[in-house]
Every structure is written in C-alpha cells, then in structure tokens.
Chains A and B, each alone.
Chain A
Amino acid sequence: MPQGHADFRELERANRRDTGMLVVVFLALFCALGFGLDILVGALKIANGRLTGFPVLTIAALIIGSVQALISYYGGGALVLMSAHARALMPDSPKHQMVLDVVREMALAARMPVPRAYVINDPAPNAFATGRDPAHSVICVTQGLIDEMDREELQGVIGHEMAHIRDFDIRTMMMIAVLVGGVAMLADFVLRWSFYGGFGGRSGGRDRGDSEAGAIIVILVFVLAILAPLFSQLIAMAVSREREYLADASSVEFTRNPRALLRALEHIAQTESPLSNATRGIAHLFIVNPLEGAGESGEGFFDNLLSTHPPLPRRIARLHALLGEQATSAATGAAHS
C-alpha cells in the first residue's frame, strides 16, 4: 500500500487494483474447490490431460449463491433500514436541515444523484450507505452523528458514504458474499460426502495410475474444504478493508479537505461506543465498526485480519499523510484542482 507521498488519486488507483487482485484470488479459490469436488463426484473427468464434462456442483453453488445475492441486492436496502429501525430524515430542525444540505453538497461533488437520507435513533456517532446503485441509494446517519459533528466533519463522513455508493461497494461486497457462501456450501458438501464415504468407489475399475491420482485429488480437495472457508473469510475481510480505505480517499476527493474526515474520525475515536441496532450482517456497511466499543479497537494481528474495517489509528494516519501532501504541494505553488 502506498504511504506518505501519495495524493488521493494515487491511493484510489492502488486500492482499486488491490481489490481486483483479491477478487481474482478469491475466484481461483472458489474454482479450485468447486472443480475438485466435481472431479471427485465424477461430473468432471481428467482424460489425457484435459478436463471434460460439466462442473455441475460448481455451477450449482454459484447459482444458489447468486439467487441469494439477488434477493438481498433488490430487497437488501429496505431490509437493512428496517432491521436498524431507520426513519426518513426530515428538515424538522436546523441541524437536520444542515445534514440534508450536506448530503446534497456531497452528491454534487461526487456527480451523483442525491441519495435519500435516513436516521437511526442511536447516540453512537456512525453512518452507513445502502442501495443497489447510485440512483437507488440511501445514506443513513445516527442521531449521535448529527448531534456530535459539525458541518466540516459531516462533510467528511457523508463524503465517505457517498464514495461507497459511487464505487458500487455494496454490490462488490454482495458478490464477495456470494463467493463466501458458495465456498462454504462446497466445503460443507465435501465434508458431508466424505463423511458418508462417498468418494471411495467413484473411480472404480481403473488402473493403478488413475486411482493414485484419484487419491491425491481426494486429499487435496479435502484439505481445501477445511481451509477454504477460513481463507474466504480472510479474503472477504481484506476486500472490505480495502474498500474502506478507498472510501476514505474518495471522501478527500469530494471535499478536497482531508481535515474534514480526519476530524470526524478522531472525534469518533474519542466517543466510540457500540451501536445497539447493528448486527453482524450489516456491520461492514458502517463508517466505523459498530460492533466494537471504545478501547476494544483490537490492534492485535488476528483482530485486524477478521475485521471489516481497518484500525481507526491507521485510517487517521493516512489522512494525516494526505493533509501533509496537500500542504506541501500548496506551499510549492502547484496547481491543486
């Protein structure tokens, strides 16, 4: 990850590239497990060094996962809002009016249609975005965010959420969820099947070479089935964290003011407390991890690996670097558009 001398555009480019690589690795893992399973059940055969047949189970896992994903894609936004008990944000007070204005301002900067604004009755300052594409999106803030943040900080936070919408992060994470679910399904299938001794006689009637190859494949698939669910979770969480960094950089792209999000995150770091309405399923949508309280930000290695969000201190450090970069180029008189 580029640090230090990067402006927000370079950070965005690097993030998108890293996300792409992670997705490719994930797809490879999915295919390895799926094809391996298909070979074992005989749907795929290796003959003369070529694969023939149809990877029935791989495709089935993809289809089932996709149906699940489509359901949550189209209905998911409403479901999330309902489960969080969100209500539409009305201009019934000067502060609420200001929040609505900031949403409009950020939509202009992001060159996107204005998302609908919702609010959750929770004192912990946090926000999330949901919706399948920019034209059907929602930004939801907590009452705590409205009460605690000033206009500049709100611009930073809402800019971050706007970035998630613009970059189709909700869609990306849904695709990742399909792959995670698919891997879990395949792994489950392998372990159940082998538990009932299903793999032994499949390659019956072959010569010695084939049954040795068969045995190796069985072992490989078995090992994959045990490790894959863990790896898929790690990859999914890594993708989620990359998107969070990207949304931070994009927020700076919109506001051109690293201080906005920086102050907001530092503010949140001081007042961090768990959000009562958040469940594990929607945790990744929030600007800071809603399931952790203050002092539990888990700086440990394993905490970080399984977290949907990067550690706050590191996000703050990157914003400081962007601020320094901006100050440097302003001082040298470089044109800053």
Chain B
Amino acid sequence: MGGWLILTVLVLIGLYLVFAYNSLVRLRNEVDNSWRQIDVQLKRRHDLIPNLVEAVKGYMQFERDTLTQVVEARGRAIAAPTQGARLEAENQLTAGLGRLLAVMENYPQLKSDQNVLQLQEQLTTTENQLAFARQAYNDVVLQLNTRVETFPTNIIASNFGFKAADYFKAAPEEQALPKVDLSLGAPGAPAQRQ
C-alpha cells in the first residue's frame, strides 16, 4: 500500500518536471522569436526609408536637417559594428522618424501625393509594429523571468541552464519626445498623424 503511494507521488513529480521543463523551453523559444520579430521590423524600416525620403524631398526643401538626420541614423544602424552601437543608432532613427512624420503634417501638399501617403502609412505601421514587437518581447521576457525566478520552477531552471533574459529598454532620447513618442508604451500615438 505504501509502495503504491510512493510510486504515485514519484510519477506525479516526474510529470510536473516534464511540464515545467517544457514550459521553460517554450518560453525561451518565444523570447527568441519575439526578438527576431523586432529584427524583422527594423529591417523593414531600413528598406522603407530611402523611398520615403526620395518622395518627400521635393516638397520639404526647408526640412533638410530632419531628412539628413534620418538618412544618417539609418546608415549608422545598418553599418553598426556592435549590438550596443546598433541599438543606439536604431533609437536615434526612431526619434528622427518621429520628428519627420510630425513635420510632414505641416505640408498639406503631401496629402495629395498618393505615393507619399502610401509610404507614410507603411512607415507608420512599421513604427507601430516595431513598438508592439518590443512590447511583445518584454511581455514574454516577463513570463520567462517569472518562471525562472519563482519557486519551484527556479530549481529546474538553474539545473538546466535557463537564465532570465534582459528587457528591452527605451533610450532617453525617445522619452524626451512629447507628442510623437513612438517608443515603448505608446503605440497608439500615431493616431494623431493620420
């Protein structure tokens, strides 16, 4: 009788271990996938910018500085040698794009150009998707870290090499922008700009 009880308990513990381990694996994979999603959006953004700059340049001769900043930040992001440099360039690019999209509001002629409107929408949605990709990444990192740190899954986590992941933090420059903040936490802001 006692033997059966011990066996049942062992089986239950075993099942729990399997379940907990698998959930850790699933979360870690989701974290990786979410990070890749961010990459996808960043790349999309790089591809869209030259077209947009080309299309609006004719209308916005007085905004040369803004346009140049965007183009240069993009160049730095693509050519960045380290992850840290890349991150910084991307954050500057986000800030620059925010300024550009805001400034475009001052040029009503732009609204009559279908090409520009289409590019503007593509860029707006890419910025939104980037913000949501970062948010999704942070959300799933939160889930993973909670699993890795709380009892009893922390025992399994440390034994099998699961570590807490780093959150994606917005750069100070992004947070300085009042209305056109496209960084973490305000994906709804672009609504002002349609």
Q: Look across to chain A and name the residue whose beta carbon is closest to the beta carbon of B34.
A: A111
Taking CB atoms, residues of chain A closer than 8 Å to B30 are 111
Is A104's CB under 8 angstroms from B125's CB?
Answer: yes
Interface of A is mostly: helix
Which bucket holds chain A's interface residue count? Answer: 20 to 34
Q: Which of B147-194 contact A (CB under 8 A)?
A: 167, 184-188, 190-191, 194
Tell me if B128 counts as interface (CB < 8 A to partner A).
yes
Kindly state whether residue B89 has any CB partner on chain A within 8 Å: no
**Residue numbers in B under 8 Å from A256 (CB-CB):** 135, 185-188
Question: CA A101 – CA B188 in complex, angstroms?
Answer: 13
A257 to B188, CA, bound (A): 7
- By a CB distance below 8 angstroms, the chain B residues around A255 are 187-188
Question: Which residues of A (18-61) have their CB < 8 Å from a CB of B?
Answer: none
Of B30, B140, B190, most A-chain CB atoms within 10 Å? B190
Within 8 A of A (CB), among B84-115: none
Q: A320 within 8 Å of B by Cβ?
A: no
Q: Which of A102, A106, A151 has the most CB of B within 10 A?
A: A151
Q: Evaluate contact between A101 and B125: CB separation under 8 angstroms.
A: yes
Question: For the complex, what is the distance from the CA of A255 to the CA of B129, rounded to whole Å?
Answer: 11
Chain B residues, Cβ within 8 Å of A152: 188, 191
Contact A257 B186 (CB under 8 A): yes
Quick check: B194 and A151 within 8 Å, CB to CB?
yes
Determine whether the beta carbon of B186 is less than 8 Å from that of A151.
no
Does A307 have its Cβ within 8 Å of any Cβ on chain B?
no
State whether B136 touches A111 (Cβ < 8 A).
yes
Tell whether, in the assembled complex, residue A108 and residue B136 are in contact, meaning their CB atoms are under 8 Å apart: yes
- A104-B129 contact, Cβ under 8 Å, with A94-B117, A151-B194, A257-B187: yes
Q: Which A residues from 281 to 311 make CB contacts under 8 A with B? A: none
Min CB gap A229→B, angstroms:
40
Contacts of A153 in B (CB 8 A): 191
Is B56's beta carbon under 8 Å from chain A?
Answer: no
CA A260 to CA B129, docked complex, whole Å: 16
Nearest Cβ on chain B to A28's Cβ, whole angstroms: 27
Given A105-B125, A111-B30, residue A336 in contact with residue B135 (CB < 8 A) = no
User: What are the residues of chain A within 8 A of B185 when measuring CB–CB?
Assistant: 256, 336-337
A116 close to B (CB within 8 Å): no
CA gap between A79 and B187 in the complex, in Å: 35
Report how far A256 CA is from B191 CA in the complex, Å.
Answer: 14
Asked whether, in the complex, the Cβ of A337 is within 8 Å of the Cβ of B129, the reply is no
**Pair B188/A155 contact, Cβ less than 8 Å:** yes
Distance in angstroms from A248 CB to nearest chain B CB is 15
Q: How far is the CA of A257 from the CA of B128 in the complex (A)?
A: 13
Flag if A105 contacts B132 (CB, 8 Å).
Answer: yes
Q: Which residues of A contact B136 (CB under 8 A)?
A: 108-111
Give the chain B neighbours of A108 by CB distance below 8 A: 37, 129, 132-133, 136
Q: Which residues of B contact A101 (CB under 8 A)?
A: 121, 124-125, 128
Tell me which of B128, B139, B142 contacts A105 (CB under 8 A).
B128
Residue of B nearest to A259 (CB): B188
CA distance A97 to B37 in the complex (A): 21
Listed A/B pairs (18) with beta-carbon separation below 8 Å: A94-B118, A98-B125, A101-B125, A101-B128, A104-B129, A108-B37, A108-B129, A108-B132, A111-B34, A150-B194, A155-B187, A254-B132, A256-B187, A260-B188, A336-B185, A337-B138, A337-B184, A337-B185
Contacts from B to A (Cβ < 8 Å):
30, 34, 37, 117-118, 121, 124-125, 128-129, 132-133, 135-136, 138-140, 142, 167, 184-188, 190-191, 194
Which 10 pairs between the two chains have the least Cβ-Cβ distance?
A152-B191, A101-B125, A257-B188, A109-B132, A108-B132, A151-B191, A105-B128, A152-B188, A111-B136, A260-B188
Known: A101-B121, A256-B135. 14 other contacts (CB 8 A): A94-B121, A97-B121, A105-B129, A105-B132, A106-B132, A109-B135, A111-B34, A111-B140, A153-B191, A255-B187, A256-B186, A259-B188, A337-B139, A337-B185
